[in-house]
Amino acid sequence: MMDEATAPLFQQVADLIADAIVDGSLPEGERAPSTNELAAFHHINPATARKGLTLLVEQGILSKRRGVGMFVEVGAKELIITMRKQNFAHDYAVPLVDEAAKLGMNQQELTTLIQQVAESRGLYR
């Protein structure tokens, strides 16, 4: 995943909607925010919001219902999780290992650090 600050705005919009689907605040089958709602809320151009929504339609996460709006597809949450898992190593692990190498950390130090962070987040309790 791109650094949020450097990702294009339309990608940031798509990511925010995908995050809402994954965390359950935008359930499957529900209407997604409209282009105009997104543009007004985030103070962005409606074309940018539309591009973010279109990306999610192309990925099969949202579907258009003519005259009604965009809706979260059944199975969208699992689809997002699957796509993110497929990109996880490239987006997170590679930069992490590269930075650890630059800092002269060995494998054990990196493993210990990951375990400590995971425990602090309640992942391994």
Tell me the per-residue pLDDT of 20-70, one tens digit each, with 9 for 90 and over.
999 999 999 999 999 999 999 999 999 999 999 999 999 999 999 999 999
Residue recorded with tokens 């995050």: 19
Which residue type sits at 35? Answer: T
Contact residues for 122 (Cβ-Cβ < 8 A; gap 6+): none
Query: Length of the chain in residues, anyone?
Result: 125
Structural class in CATH, domain 9-74: mainly alpha
Q: Mind giving me the DSSP string for 42-106?
A: HT--HHHHHHHHHHHHHTTSEEEETTTEEEEPTTHHHHHHHHHHHHHIIIIIHHHHHHHHHTT--
pLDDT above 70 coverage of the chain, percent? 95
Report the C-alpha gap between 35 and 124 in whole angstroms.
40
Per domain, the residue ranges of the chain are 9-74, 78-121
Query: What's the pLDDT at 1?
Result: 42
Query: What's the pLDDT at 4?
Result: 59
pLDDT (average), residues 90-105: 95
- Expressed in angstroms, the distance from the first to the final Cα of the chain is 27
